[in-house]
Structure 1
Amino acid sequence: MAARNLGKSGLRVSCLGLGTWVTFGGQISDEVAEQLMTIAYESGVNLFDTAEVAEQLMTIAYESGVNLFDTAEVYAGGRAEIILGNIIKKKCWRRSSLVITTKLYWGGKAETERGLNRKHIIEGLRGSLQRMQLDYVDVVFANRPDTNTPMEEIVRAMTHVINQGMSMYWGTSRWSAMEIMEAYSVARQFNLIPPVCEQAEYHFFQREKVETQLPELYHKIGVGVVSWSPLACGIITGKYDNGIPETSRASMKPYQWLREKITSEDGRKQQAKLKELTHIAEKLGCTLPQLAIAWCLRNEGVSSVLLGSSNPVQLTENLGAIQVIPKMTTGIASEVDHLLGNRPHRKLFKPKTFHSACQKK
């Protein structure tokens, strides 16, 4: 497994990471059992089956060289962090060999249990560490912007938890380039610690932010990208080529939005493009998901791509994308761009203008 620096920090992370939202979050152990697992979870039944699948996934990932494992306080109301911590403890993996990340924003129902105010950042991270049975995480992410909290308060709180040894670094998730730059400017102004990376959605059909907004941040201030959903919630697997299978995620009530997206006019156009992209995958001797993941990793600003597999077979296949990266030549990338027809044009900005806009905000 190849490793890359997290942004321009010195932290080395595996170029593929394992996200815990799908299986660890108590949503599915496999797609067929999703509805049953949801009912069980909402009824307070323990998640032994989910934990078992989660352990298999983490073991496969770790033994394949993956060191990055991502979770969040909101996943299954904290149960995902509990499962993750139990697995690490059971496996007796060296803590120093792992890069554990979590995300803060939605910690509970009370007003004081959510947001990015100093109180919740400190208390929320303490809660996460307690659930995972860890002394620290490697990266704590702000899981969305918080317009109710001044940027200086957010940056000071993140600096505090790092100085207290609760986290090594901090990053952002679903923040705009302007918001990230504002946090950087505040950090430099008050001698605080700036974010090192942004978690962003990135796949064949979601390119604008990662390819036009974030590259300048990478080159100017060292902020890298940890991307998620490389298969667009399963759309890129090709399983929706001929409609919505009864056992698929899109066939279930909680995912009505996904069904509507797939059956829309844009969705049908995407399916047609995926069929064409399958020919490129066949030419390279790989599967369409492997091509999609390798395509994400061709971007120099992407430090790691988070995989969200629901079973061991799927994870093993996705990890095989590593073998496809050397085949992602300029010619192949151009061929993919031509078929997609959605390559965004990079919008360059002057750092002074960008900084001034932040100061006025």
Structure 2
Amino acid sequence: MPAPNFSHRINQALQSRREKGLERKIRPVIGGNQTELECQGRRYFNFSSNDYLGLANDPELVKAWQQGLSVYGSGSGASPLVTGFTYAHQNLEASLCDWLGYERAILFNSGFSANQAVLFSLLEKDDLLLQDKLNHASLMEAGMLSPASMKRFRHNDTNHLNTLLNSDCANLVVTEGVFSMDGDIAPLKAIQDKCLDRAWLVVDDAHGIGVLGKEGRGSCETAQITPDILVVTFGKAFGLSGAAVLCRHNTGDYLTQFARHHVYSTAMPPAQAHTLTHAVEMIRGQQWRRDNLVELNQLYEELLSDLPQYRETQTPIKPFVIGKSEATVKSANYLRQQGLWLTAIRPPTVPNNTARLRITLTANHTKKQIKTLAAGLRQAIEKQGDAS
């Protein structure tokens, strides 16, 4: 039998993706972290950014990073357990613990690595991992690669979760607080009630932290629960990048010893940790950003709730579900021509026949921009109807 031909395999996979209309493309843009961006010399209203609080390009945060660079230099130079951990990192951990009410915070370079580190470190062969069916790819992949048995419970279905819990082994239940493609909020209190004395609960609150709850403490604060492990990421509402795992003191010690993504990765730049500490202060103290989001959410609902593609959410994530991938891509392209930058999300990222425009609102959007968006969406749907 001949050796595998990697070039043939790659070309075949790419051709299949193109034929199904699922090919992804990367485009360089200017201002992708702002409400207006530029691509190939044209300006667009940007409704695809996860910069929910509008911090990514905020002058106050930019100044904090510049100050951090002047004090700490550019990179950390090593992993946290060598020489990469500084007082800037320590201050960030303390700030997160004070804000979110945990004993320890362990820092990671991305939410993807934080999620994988938690599952790989905690799970053993005879354990049972129970995940919401719509959890992020980082959690699903880690579950499949972990030594534990993994089962998925129906999305936000606590009764189904209850039937899967197994009293004969260690159970780890994992859910997102806010789901990235649907913008809906998990029934966290009901999930925690099912877990009591039966399982540990892990919540990935990447899309809820900073946006929901008192002082932006996220979906868990809104539900009045404290999960065993809380994962927060810094690439959305914080306006930066990286992540942290919030946990009890001994769990933090355990991750420091056994979380390979933490032990064997270069620590985030100390200037970044310094800036993230400042971002925590801004998130906690600048309630007006969340108030702006509430007003924009209400306006978006008023303008579009009569359309069948509309989905109600209490978060800045607004899925506009069209269904077929081809129609969704055509709508995105049409809106691009109208100066609106929206991303078509298709399978396998979302289930078949649920392709959608993933619309995100930020605190920096204006009401005029929301009105322009609504008018464009209506025109795109009308155009699809005319074409059929």
Larger radius of gyration: 2
Normalising by structure 2, we get a TM-score of 0.29
Q: Which structure has the higher relative contact order (CA within 8 Å, separation 6+)?
A: 2
Normalising by structure 1, we get a TM-score of 0.30
Greater helix content: 1
